[in-house]
Amino acid sequence: MKNQNNKTILDVQNLHANTQSTEILKGINLTVKSGEIHAIMGLNGSGKSTFAKVLAGHPDYTVTQGNIQFEQQDLLALSPEERAQAGIFLAFQYPIEIPGVANSQFLRLAYNTIQSKRGNDELDPLEFDDFVREKMKLLEMNPDFLDRSVNEGFSGGEKKRNEILQMALLEPTLGILDETDSGLDIDALKIVAKGVNHLSNAQNAMILITHYQRLLDHIVPDYVHVMEAGRIVKTGGKELALELEKHGYDWLHDDRHNNVGVSA
């Protein structure tokens, strides 16, 4: 859904971020417009998850340079809760388990908190039950998952579907999916992709962090970015992911073949 007239949702300029001891992000630039799907790929340890967590406001990281505008707001001035309320959703690479808290309670609390902050009506338990079951159908999830503790004993794939269910309920402006495809069998991958495609529209945008081209067969990105040592070193179209799959990341440093897409 690339369109020059679409509004800018996220504008990241020269982003540098550290843990206590190390600089991990070393000057990221990225602009995401409404209606777009961006994939971020790259070797293990290149900084992809850190970037996602910095966008969500994770307290382990300190931004030392640069700025992030999210829908014309200074994102770095917002707390993690305010970012979620403003419309950023991060689906975790390793979703956490919350023993003793029913998934239905957790989802309703998350939904109602966001809705009330947005000035919308909250749903009572019965209304919410109807609403969440509709969304679960989309993701082909068994309603029994509502009564179980959040993610406790869920298989890897079930946890990932539960993350997408949360995203479907919260309807973020920017959905960030960190390796949502890892641990999914082919059928689950297609179902999750169907859910993401259903949620993706002209008003929102998605950032998918993935190691595998196969996800991008089902969720077709407008842009593919390659991260290396804390920077985006290459940007192209969906064909860039195919080339990376074929040749590996070393190929990016081989000038003779390096003619796919546009450099960042």
Ligand X SMILES: Nc1ncnc2c1ncn2[C@@H]1O[C@H](COP(=O)(O)OP(=O)(O)OP(=O)(O)O)[C@@H](O)[C@H]1O
Which stretches of the chain bind ligand X, using CB under 6 A?
19, 24, 42, 44-50, 60
Burial class (CB in 10 A: 0-12, 13-18, 19+), 177: buried
Phi then psi for residue 163, to 5 deg, are -65, -45
- To the nearest whole angstrom, how small is the minimum distance from the Cβ of residue 134 to ligand X? 33
> Tokens 């190929």 label which residue?
251
Phi then psi for residue 137, to 5 deg, are -60, -40
Cβ neighbors of 124 (< 8 A, separation 6 or more) are: none
Cβ nearer to ligand X, comparing 33 with 48: 48
- To the nearest whole angstrom, how small is the minimum distance from the Cβ of residue 17 to ligand X? 10
- To the nearest whole angstrom, how small is the minimum distance from the Cβ of residue 165 to ligand X? 23
- To the nearest whole angstrom, how small is the minimum distance from the Cβ of residue 179 to ligand X? 6
Cβ nearer to ligand X, comparing 39 with 114: 39
**Could you tell me the two tokens for 141?**
């999830």
Cβ nearer to ligand X, comparing 46 with 151: 46
Cβ nearer to ligand X, comparing 46 with 166: 46
**Could you tell me the two tokens for 39?**
């994939």
- To the nearest whole angstrom, how small is the minimum distance from the Cβ of residue 221 to ligand X? 17
> Tokens 């998850």 label which residue?
49
- DSSP assignment letter at 13: E
Cβ nearer to ligand X, comparing 169 with 176: 176
